[in-house]
């Protein structure tokens, strides 16, 4: 297979779901102080409000698998684009705290669904030797969305002084509408078409996506689906899928136990804890977004060359060093930071973000899209995403409460968890680079 215009267009458009995922995740960081004031929230209330979208996210991730299998990846992407649009407009126009939570929950459904469907779709149209890079385009769009959200927040804050939070959240409506319109120009997944017994349509898509041996691809897909011996609705939680299920839960849980979403959601708050002013904290958040974007781009060309495990090892070591540094500085300075302490926190957070971007951030969605057989891939991706977002909910809700007690405690906890991740990568995580999805299935001993 080779890169073709249809393959590239389909990858970029599908990955716009990731852009909105990133934008929605990061945009809330610029609104936390105003939300606390407008809705008169305690630290616990603020944590719940910020994490309300994540409740929708893990619900969306869990529920989207079967509809994606039944109605197709493309159809579900249309629905998610509408959810993003309604959530952006509704959050901006929210008339009370409850309405705000409802619209943020709707946006969370879209984020959770996109975290499953976008990488699944791209994995199913991609050749094995390009799959890691093409699926990782979703992650590039996620971090690009975050960077644009941080820039948007800063720009809006400089020109609008009243109800700034409404404009920040409403800005998401523009890319949401664009995403919906561009979906009309991409084909359906060939592997989903084969599951629906639409071989002719699947052949056409494979040809447009550059398949060099369509007959072989069709036979491989058909063999993996094995519809004569396995019902399309067979039980997911079975002994056959035990290994990939455990892998999915582990990588997703470790992703959030690093504290990444707490940092992304509360970046300005963390920098204020370290002595930065309001304007400076927003600028430092842009540095976070920029670092995330640059190191994700650096990981993109090497994930298929060096492999998933190598990137995870490098990221784990960076996590441990940066989180330990943050913990030590917060224990030393407490709430009385000087310029030196604030600078160390900023550098440590940027190293942490770089480690995440080069490791877990790039690998997780690629890995989840690879380790399950075709016939249960959407459900497997949904399990991984559900675990990811459920842990994100816990981490994001508890961060402001624990951080109010001690910044050192929270960063120490994250560092210890990343020691656990390093051990898991060394002892358990398999390598999946450079082999077809069907070969990975056989490697895991799944018939």
pLDDT below 50 — which residues of the chain? Answer: 1, 228
For the beta carbon of residue 301, count every other beta carbon within 10 angstroms: 12
What is the model's pLDDT at position 228? 41
Taking each helix axis from N to C end, the angle separating 43-63 and 377-405, rounded to the nearest 10 degrees, works out to: 170
Q: Quote the pLDDT of residue 351.
A: 95
Per-residue pLDDT of 338-390, as tens digits, reads 888 888 988 999 999 999 999 998 898 788 878 888 777 778 877 887 888 78
Sign of CA dihedral 65, 66, 72, 75: negative
DSSP letters along 287-327, please?
Answer: HHHHHHHHHHHHHTTTHHHH-HHHHHHHHHHHHHHHHHHHH
Residue 314 CB partners (closer than 8 Å, separation 6+): 355, 358, 359
Model pLDDT, residue 85? 94
* CA–CA distance, 400 with 406 (Å, rounded to integer): 10
The pLDDT value given to residue 281: 66
Tell me how far apart the alpha carbons of residues 348 and 60 are, in angstroms, rounded to a whole number: 33
Please choose, from the candidates 241, 232, 292, 293, the residue with its C-alpha nearest in 3D space to the C-alpha of residue 263: 292
Q: For domain 5-186+240-443, give the fold.
A: Growth Hormone; Chain: A; (1.20.1250)
Q: Name the nearest CA neighbour of 439 among 380, 378, 376, 374.
A: 374
> pTM score, two decimals?
0.74
- Measured distance CA(186)–CA(180) in Å, rounded: 11
Please tell me the distance from the alpha carbon of residue 383 to that of residue 63, in angstroms, as a whole number.
9
Query: Is residue 86 within a helix (H) or strand (E), and if so which, with residue range?
Result: helix 73-92
């Amino acid at each position: 297979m080779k890169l073709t215009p249809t393959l590239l267009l389909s990858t970029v458009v599908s990955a716009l779901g990731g852009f909105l995922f990133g934008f929605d995740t990061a945009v809330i960081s610029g609104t936390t102080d105003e939300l606390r004031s407008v809705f008169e929230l305690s630290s616990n209330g603020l944590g719940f409000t910020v994490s309300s979208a994540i409740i929708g996210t893990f619900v969306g991730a869990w529920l989207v698998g079967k509809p994606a299998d039944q109605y197709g990846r493309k159809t579900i992407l249309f629905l998610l684009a509408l959810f993003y649009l309604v959530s952006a407009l509704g959050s901006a126009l929210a008339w009370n705290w409850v309405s705000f939570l409802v619209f943020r929950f709707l946006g969370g459904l879209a984020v959770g669904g996109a975290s499953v469907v976008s990488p699944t779709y791209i994995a199913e149209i991609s050749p094995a030797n390009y799959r890691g890079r093409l699926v990782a385009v979703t992650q590039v769009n996620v971090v690009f969305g975050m960077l644009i959200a941080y820039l948007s927040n800063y720009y809006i804050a400089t020109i609008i002084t009243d109800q700034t939070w409404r404009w920040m959240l409403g800005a998401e409506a523009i890319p949401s509408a664009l995403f919906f319109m561009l979906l009309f120009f991409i084909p359906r997944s060939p592997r989903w078409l084969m599951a629906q017994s639409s071989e002719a349509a699947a052949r056409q898509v494979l040809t447009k996506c550059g398949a060099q041996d369509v007959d072989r691809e069709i036979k491989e897909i058909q063999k993996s689906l094995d519809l004569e011996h396995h019902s399309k609705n067979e039980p997911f939680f079975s002994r056959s899928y035990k290994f990939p299920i455990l892998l999915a839960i582990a990588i997703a849980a470790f992703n959030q136990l690093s504290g990444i979403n707490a940092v992304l959601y509360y970046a300005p708050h963390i920098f204020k804890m370290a002595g930065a002013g309001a304007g400076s904290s927003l600028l430092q958040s842009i540095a976070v977004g920029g670092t995330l974007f640059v190191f994700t781009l650096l990981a993109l060309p090497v994930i298929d060359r060096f492999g998933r495990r190598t990137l995870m090892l490098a990221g784990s070591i960076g996590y441990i060093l940066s989180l330990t540094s943050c913990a030590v500085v917060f224990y030393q300075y407490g709430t009385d930071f000087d310029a030196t302490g604030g600078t160390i926190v900023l550098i440590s957070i940027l190293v942490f973000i770089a480690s995440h971007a080069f490791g877990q951030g790039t690998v997780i969605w690629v890995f989840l899209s690879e380790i399950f057989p075709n016939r249960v891939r959407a459900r497997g991706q949904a399990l991984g995403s559900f675990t990811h977002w459920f842990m994100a909910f816990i981490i994001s809700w508890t961060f402001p409460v624990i951080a109010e007690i001690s910044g050192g405690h929270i960063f120490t906890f994250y560092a210890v968890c990343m020691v656990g991740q390093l051990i898991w990568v060394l002892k358990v995580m398999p390598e999946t680079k450079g082999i077809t999805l069907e070969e990975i299935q056989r490697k895991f001993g799944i018939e």
